Amino acid sequence: MKKILYTLVIILFIVGFSGVCSADNEKDVSADSYKYDYEDIIIKRGNENEKVVALTFDDGPDEVFTPQVLDILKKYDVKATFFLIGEKVPYNKSIVKREQEEGHEIGNHTYTHINAAKKSKAEIESEVTKTQEAIKEITGEYPTIFRPPYRALSRDLCQVVKDKNMNIVLWSNIDVRDWSNPGVNSIVNTIDNKVENGNIIILHDYNTVRNNKSQTIQALEIVIPRLKEKGYKFVTISELMEHLDKK
């Protein structure tokens, strides 16, 4: 009898544990399931059949580094996309205007670089809206693209962005983590070795390390000519989306 009871206890434990694991797995799946509802607005790459790449710069405008980035882009006749922090915009109006006048695309990167996955819908709405207004005041246009800091997404964020008729722009297989100052060679080699057709490459025109030239800027002077030699064309995000392959 004791053996039977012992066996029943073991069976119940296994069944119960399996049920918990199953519930946890279902919870994990459902936690991200909202992303399927917003696939049409989330952009991770361009068409893999086209030899194009999109350089994107986060966390500006910066009074020191952004003009240097713009000088390099102008030198090589390259167009890029800048995702701006809203609170920095009023202090760097001439830089934002220059970005627009030189043919670059401007996107929204929240007002204070928040982690949207940890914020309420009202807070997200405020951050996105304030940045939209700050940029429009200078460019005369609302941005149509948004990049979430930390790549952090939530259902509320996706809905706010969708309600504003914007696209969420992430990045492809290349994240050089240039903000962490990994070394110029590290930035160059990562891009050079991993670049693929349709890549969205994330870089930064802001750095907490203040010097004459950031590692990003030094790397750009090598990367851009090298990618051109490989036959890549540089495009803005909107240009990339014109022939979008969302796979």
Alpha-carbon Rg for the chain, nearest whole angstrom, is 22
* Closest by CA position to 134, among listed 102, 110, 160, 118: 110
37 is catalytic: no
> For the stretch 86-123, what's the b/e string if a residue is b when 16 or more beta carbons lie within 10 angstroms of its beta carbon?
bebbeebeebbebbbeeebbbbbbbbebbebbebeeeb
Paired with 58 in beta bridges are: 83, 204
104 is catalytic: no
Q: Which of 59, 178, 204, 205 is catalytic?
A: 204
Residues 6+ apart with CB under 8 A from 39: 246
Give the residue numbers annotated as catalytic, written as ranges. 58, 204
